[in-house]
């Protein structure tokens, strides 16, 4: 990010020690470190949001291409985009359905076995 070498950092530390003194220098360093961490986390959040928006824009463009071609003879990337959009739409429409299926699958198997046993009797 910044092209600061060892000697520049040493000069900044000496100036900080002279200006702030040994009692306030550690507090000032912690404060600056906190500011830097908050700026870094903010920039990471903005970067993640922008990449997500770009991904959504790309998916939207691929969906338009797929709709224009009539959903036939799609390129692999457009087909993958359409598939991911369909999965996301299913997940939004039925958010708990997949979890319920996983939770109920052993019970469903047991109930089917019980029904088979009853039919045999």
What is the rounded average pLDDT of the residues 86-115? 61
Beta strands in the chain (DSSP E): none
pTM over 0.75: no
The confidence score (pLDDT) of residue 41 equals: 97
**Domain locations in the chain?**
6-92
The mean pLDDT of the chain is 79
The residue with greater pLDDT, 80 or 7, is 7
Q: How many helices (H) and strands (E) does the chain have?
A: 3, 0
Give the pLDDT band of residue 111 (cuts 50, 70, 90).
Answer: low
CA gap 4, 12 in Å, rounded: 10
40 — phi, psi (to 5°)?
Answer: -65, -45
Q: Are 56 and 71 in contact (CB under 8 A)?
A: no
Beta-carbon contacts of 63 under 8 Å, excluding residues fewer than 6 positions away, are 81, 82, 85
CA gap 9, 2 in Å, rounded: 11
The confidence score (pLDDT) of residue 9 equals: 87
- The pLDDT tens digits of the residues spanning 31-60 come to 999 999 999 999 999 999 999 999 888 888
68's tokens: 């224009």
């Amino acid at each position: 990010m910044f092209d600061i070498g060892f000697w520049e950092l040493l000069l900044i530390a000496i100036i900080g020690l002279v200006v702030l003194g040994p009692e306030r220098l550690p507090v000032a360093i912690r404060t600056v470190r906190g500011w830097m961490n908050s700026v870094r986390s903010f920039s990471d959040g903005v970067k993640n949001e922008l990449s997500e928006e770009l991904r959504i824009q790309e998916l939207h463009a691929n969906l338009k291409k797929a709709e224009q071609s009539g959903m036939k003879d799609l390129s692999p990337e457009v087909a993958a985009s359409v598939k991911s959009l369909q999965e996301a739409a299913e997940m939004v429409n039925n958010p708990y359905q997949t979890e319920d299926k996983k939770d109920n699958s052993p019970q469903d198997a047991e109930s089917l076995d019980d029904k088979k046993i009853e039919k045999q009797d």
